[in-house]
């Protein structure tokens, strides 16, 4: 008897090819569209209806059952609230990581299993074996950075069919299967929300922001900002400070509502080799970390030392300094081709 796999169909090419491959491999496939967000904000239309229709067309083309799971309330409370609380605290969260942890590999997985699934599958570029998370063949598309908080038990119930393919190969497969989404472009923006920028999104839900000073490395006021909440460490564009060398954000004070910048790319305030990580998650328990990645597609950096602190935090020292390490973002652990877990960069 063939195994039942519920595939998260987003309306994109990756999840479409995922469903096609699994059906070709003999699985009993059901397509599921996750409705996590439907609100349009200002001039930015939420693409959910278009995504839903594209997913439905793919299911029809593949002749597989298709259903929709509505997680909109849970997405707001578990992902959006987390985002807003983080920004208000002066840190920069990663909603994709939280969406994977709370929605795709928790709520979605549980409901699929409840409805008879043996496994779930998604179009992520990653691999899994015996509950371990492995790096994908396409290093440019590898998404283990966003998946590091998924649990071992969830990974044992997950199939990632795209692990051994590059993006061009996936595009070619979409053409081969004659999928309705074969020509669809990559989606950008906030997870499930659409192409809206983070500043416009925040303005929809945050009203207690006001103008403040932008202060350079010499302590001089070089401009004003509309609210410290909108700025993140390492940011270069959108500062509105003209003339001379470009400025980079080195930090901010949410109480004083001040944003600190430097025009010196070699400024020590922009670079560090030492991190404190909180909310640390290990997929298979504590392990020896060989490398870390500090943002998606960033180069792997070799670890010099890793110290476990009493409260569960980790103090990490890298062999080289890295620019623009951002509080609230994730630093993810690797050894060989395995993702071991990771943690959230803490305010020092």
DSSP 255-301: TTTEEEEES-TT-GGGEEEEEEEEEEEESSSS----EEESSTTPPPE
The helix/strand/coil state of 140 is coil
Kindly list the structural domains of the chain, giving each domain's residue range(s) and its CATH number in brackets, ordered by start.
Answer: 4-176 (3.40.50.620), 208-262 (2.30.30.280), 271-345 (2.40.30.10)
In this predicted structure, the answer to whether residue 195 has a pLDDT above a threshold of 70 is no
Question: 209 exposed, middle or buried (CB, 10 Å; 0-12, 13-18, 19+)?
Answer: middle
| Of 96 and 237, the one with more pLDDT | 96
Looking at residues 55-61, what average pLDDT do you find? 97
pLDDT at 41: 79
Of the given ranges (50-54, 139-143, 329-333, 344-348), which has the lowest mean pLDDT? 344-348
pLDDT at 17: 98
In this predicted structure, the answer to whether residue 187 has a pLDDT above a threshold of 80 is no
In this predicted structure, the answer to whether residue 189 has a pLDDT above a threshold of 60 is no
Percent of the chain surpassing pLDDT 90: 84
pLDDT at 188: 59
pLDDT at 40: 82
The helix/strand/coil state of 2 is coil
Read off the pLDDT of residues 77-132 as tens digits, 9 standing for 90 and up.
Answer: 999 999 999 999 999 999 999 999 999 999 999 999 999 999 999 999 999 999 99
Looking at residues 45-70, what average pLDDT do you find? 94
Report the C-alpha gap between 128 and 121 in whole angstroms. Answer: 11
In this predicted structure, the answer to whether residue 244 has a pLDDT above a threshold of 80 is no
pLDDT at 208: 87
pLDDT at 112: 98
In this predicted structure, the answer to whether residue 48 has a pLDDT above a threshold of 60 is yes
Kindly indicate the confidence band of residue 191, based on its pLDDT and cuts at 50, 70 and 90.
Answer: low
pLDDT at 157: 98
User: For 314, which DSSP code?
Assistant: E
Kindly indicate the confidence band of residue 347, based on its pLDDT and cuts at 50, 70 and 90.
Answer: low
CB burial string 231-242: b at 16+ within 10 A, e below: bbbbbeeebebe
Which one, of 228, 289, 294, 282, lies nearest residue 260 by Cα? 228
Is 99 assigned a catalytic role?
A: yes
pLDDT at 183: 86
Kindly indicate the confidence band of residue 348, based on its pLDDT and cuts at 50, 70 and 90.
Answer: low
Mean pLDDT of the chain: 93
Q: Which of 46, 99, 112, 339 is catalytic?
A: 99
């Amino acid at each position: 008897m063939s195994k039942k796999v519920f595939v998260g169909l987003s309306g994109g090419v990756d999840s479409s090819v995922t469903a096609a491959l699994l059906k070709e491999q003999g699985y009993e496939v059901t397509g599921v569209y996750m409705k996590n967000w439907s609100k349009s904000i200002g001039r930015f239309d939420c693409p959910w209806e278009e995504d839903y229709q594209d997913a439905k067309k793919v299911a029809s083309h593949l002749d597989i059952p298709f259903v929709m799971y509505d997680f909109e309330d849970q997405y707001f409370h578990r992902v959006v609230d987390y985002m807003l609380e983080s920004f208000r605290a002066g840190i920069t969260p990663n909603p994709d990581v939280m969406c994977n942890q709370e929605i795709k590999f928790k709520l979605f997985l549980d409901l699929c299993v409840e409805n008879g699934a043996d496994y779930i599958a998604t179009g992520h570029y990653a691999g899994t074996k015996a509950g371990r998370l492995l790096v994908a063949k396409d290093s440019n598309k590898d998404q283990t950075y966003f998946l590091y908080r998924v649990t071992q038990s969830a990974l044992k119930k997950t199939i990632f069919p795209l692990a051994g393919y590059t993006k061009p190969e996936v595009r070619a497969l979409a053409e081969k299967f004659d999928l309705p989404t074969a020509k669809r472009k990559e989606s950008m923006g906030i997870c499930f929300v659409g192409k809206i920028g983070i500043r416009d999104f925040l303005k929809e839900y945050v009203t207690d922001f006001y103008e403040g000073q932008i202060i350079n490395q010499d302590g001089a006021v070089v401009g004003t900002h509309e609210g410290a909440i909108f700025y993140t460490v390492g940011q270069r564009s959108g500062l509105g400070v003209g003339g001379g060398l470009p400025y980079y954000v080195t930090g901010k004070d949410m109480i004083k509502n001040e944003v600190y910048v430097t025009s010196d790319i070699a400024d020590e305030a922009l670079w560090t080799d030492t991190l404190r990580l909180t909310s640390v998650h290990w997929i298979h328990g504590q392990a020896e970390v060989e490398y870390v990645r500090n943002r998606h597609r960033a180069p792997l950096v070799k670890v010099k030392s890793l110290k476990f602190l009493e409260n569960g935090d980790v103090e990490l020292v890298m062999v080289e300094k890295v620019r623009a390490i951002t509080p609230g973002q994730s630093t993810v652990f690797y050894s060989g081709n395995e993702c071991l877990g990771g943690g959230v960069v803490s305010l020092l």
